[in-house]
């Protein structure tokens, strides 16, 4: 084995480790947001998430990219992308106040399937019938979790599907704009857009917080910044085809943390829906790699 091959394998392993760290941090962030969102307005929690995230990454941005911070191509699309991510975050935190952590994360993972369904219209990509069939199967998996018409149905589950649509718009615009801005700069602008938009709304709902809860908000921002930087660095070191399937480990971490923190554990129907959504997403990813 050549030295270059050994170095690439080592980088791939490090990238996989960073991805696993990221999907372990995100459910912890979500659990804190769920705890705070049950006692404070969700808009206030969303505002804190972006304020503290921006505070965490701003020094690094100024150090590494201060000459490129305002060199943003197609600012209109960048703004829409940022707003889509902010909406996805708000809907995610809102859904957490009604549903268990694992259910919310599983519904959010509808986004790869929605991206596949919309890619021909937004990006002009070709999507075959097999991937469309996987999209339909994933949607059925979501219906198994939501169970409309049954006694266990929660109207807030609709917000869970909204997370997938909002984040799919973010991903589609990210693909459309890829390669034009360093990922960390993109993360900084999304955080800045989140701070500005939520700061316009949070004064109408703001409630005084205990110091311990301010610390919780700070942890949400810190964990979010750490997780996304791990993801960015991971994709710099390892191929997307290797890392993307690891993202579904976030659902398992959400199950574990939801059980330990809130005592929630998915029932048989929810597990079935989780496996269907994850399976459909993994199949779509495999077909995309094969087509690519």
pLDDT confidence of residue 292 = 58
Look up tokens 């708000």; give the residue.
90
Backbone angles phi, psi at 185, to 5 degrees: -65, -40
- More confidently predicted of 45 and 272: 45
For residue 217, what are its two tokens? 């908000």
Nearest to 221 by CA among 191, 197, 181: 191
CB-count burial class (<10 Å; 0-12, 13-18, 19+) for 88: buried
pLDDT exceeds 70 at position 228: yes
pLDDT confidence of residue 275 = 87
pLDDT exceeds 60 at position 148: no
pLDDT confidence of residue 83 = 94
- More confidently predicted of 241 and 92: 92
Nearest to 45 by CA among 26, 29, 68: 29
- More confidently predicted of 71 and 190: 190
pLDDT exceeds 90 at position 204: yes
Distance CA 202, CA 49 (A): 12
1-15, 186-200, 204-218: least confidently modelled range: 1-15
pLDDT exceeds 50 at position 149: no
pLDDT exceeds 70 at position 3: no
CB-count burial class (<10 Å; 0-12, 13-18, 19+) for 15: buried
pLDDT confidence of residue 202 = 96
Q: Which residues contact 57 (CB under 8 A, 6 or more apart)?
A: 184, 187, 188, 191, 225, 229
- Asked if 40 and 213 touch (Cβ cutoff 8 Å), the reply is yes
Torsion of Cα atoms, 88 then 91 then 97 then 103, to 10° = -60
Q: Which residues contact 61 (CB under 8 A, 6 or more apart)?
A: 69, 184, 185, 188
pLDDT confidence of residue 31 = 96
- Asked if 144 and 273 touch (Cβ cutoff 8 Å), the reply is yes
- Confidence band (pLDDT; 50, 70, 90) for 54? very high
Distance CA 10, CA 77 (A): 36
Q: Which ranges of 202-247 does DSSP label H, i.e. alpha helix?
A: 211-237, 240-243
Overall average pLDDT of the 200-219 stretch: 95
Overall number of domains in the chain: 1
- More confidently predicted of 187 and 67: 187
Overall average pLDDT of the 178-197 stretch: 86
- Confidence band (pLDDT; 50, 70, 90) for 151? very low
pLDDT exceeds 70 at position 150: no
pLDDT confidence of residue 78 = 85
pLDDT confidence of residue 39 = 94
Distance CA 70, CA 117 (A): 33
Average pLDDT, the chain: 85
Distance CA 138, CA 158 (A): 15
pLDDT confidence of residue 15 = 85
pLDDT exceeds 90 at position 92: yes
Distance CA 234, CA 228 (A): 10
DSSP 202: G
Q: Distance between terminal CA atoms of the chain?
A: 27
List, for residues 98-134, the tens digit of each pLDDT value: 888 988 998 888 888 888 888 787 777 777 778 778 8
Q: How far is CA 22 from CA 17, 119, 218, 219, 225, in A?
A: 9, 26, 17, 14, 10
In which domain, by residue range, is 110 found? 3-291
pLDDT exceeds 60 at position 1: no
Overall average pLDDT of the 38-49 stretch: 96
């Amino acid at each position: 084995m050549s030295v270059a091959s050994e170095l690439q394998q080592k980088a791939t392993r490090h990238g996989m480790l960073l991805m696993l760290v990221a999907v372990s941090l995100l459910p912890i962030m979500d659990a804190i947001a769920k705890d705070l969102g049950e006692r404070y307005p969700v808009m206030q929690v969303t505002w804190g998430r972006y304020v503290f995230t921006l505070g965490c990454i701003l020094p690094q941005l100024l150090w590494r990219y201060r000459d490129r911070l305002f060199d943003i191509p197609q600012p209109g699309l960048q703004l829409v992308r940022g707003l889509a991510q902010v909406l996805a975050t708000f809907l995610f935190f809102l859904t957490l106040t009604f549903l268990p952590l694992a259910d919310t994360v599983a519904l959010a993972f509808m986004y790869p399937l929605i991206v596949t369904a919309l890619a021909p219209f937004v990006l002009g990509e070709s999507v075959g019938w097999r991937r469309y069939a996987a999209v339909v199967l994933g949607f059925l998996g979501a219906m198994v979790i939501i169970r409309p018409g049954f006694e266990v149905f929660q109207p807030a589950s609709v917000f869970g599907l909204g997370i997938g649509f909002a984040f799919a718009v973010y991903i589609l615009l990210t693909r459309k704009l890829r390669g034009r801005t360093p990922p960390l700069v993109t993360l900084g602008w999304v955080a800045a857009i989140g701070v500005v938009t939520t700061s316009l709304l949070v004064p109408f709902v703001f409630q005084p917080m205990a110091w311990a809860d301010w610390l919780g908000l700070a942890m949400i921002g810190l964990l979010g910044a750490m997780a996304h930087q791990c993801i960015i660095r991971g994709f710099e070191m390892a191929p997307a085809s290797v890392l993307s399937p690891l993202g579904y480990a976030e659902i398992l971490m959400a199950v574990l943390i939801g059980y330990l923190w809130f005592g929630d554990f998915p029932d048989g129907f929810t597990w079935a829906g989780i496996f269907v959504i994850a399976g459909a997403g993994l199949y779509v990813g495999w077909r995309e790699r094969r087509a690519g």
